[in-house]
Amino acid sequence: MSHKRRRKAQPQPDALTATDEALWRAASQGDHAGVQRLLADGADPNAAGRHGTTPLMLAQDVAMVDLLLAAGARLDAVDDFDNDAFAEALAAEQPALIQHLLAAGADLNRRNKYGWTRLRSAAFSRSPQTVAQLLALGADP
pLDDT per position as a tens digit, 59-101: 999 999 999 999 999 999 999 989 999 999 999 999 999 999 9
Instruction: Give CA–CA dist 48/77, Å, rounded.
Output: 9
pLDDT given for residue 1 in this prediction: 42
The enclosing H or E element of 90 equals helix 85-91
- Residue 50 is classified by DSSP as G
Question: Is the distance from CB of 108 to CB of 72 less than 8 angstroms?
Answer: no
pLDDT per position as a tens digit, 6-53: 544 555 545 788 999 999 999 999 999 999 999 999 999 999 988 999
CATH architecture for segment(s) 18-109: Alpha Horseshoe (1.25)
Question: What DSSP line would sit under 55-82, residue for residue?
Answer: HHHH--SHHHHHHHHHTT--TT---TTS
Helices (H) and strands (E) in the chain, counts: 8, 0
Question: What DSSP line would sit under 98-122, residue for residue?
Answer: HHHHHHTT--TT---TTS--HHHHH
Beta carbons within 8 Å of 91's beta carbon, 6+ residues apart: 4, 6, 83, 121, 125
Instruction: Give CA–CA dist 53/84, Å, rounded.
Output: 8
| Percent helix / strand / coil, the chain, rounded to 5 | 50, 0, 50
pTM: 0.86
Question: Is the distance from CB of 37 to CB of 45 less than 8 angstroms?
Answer: no
| pLDDT at residue 4 greater than cutoff 90 | no
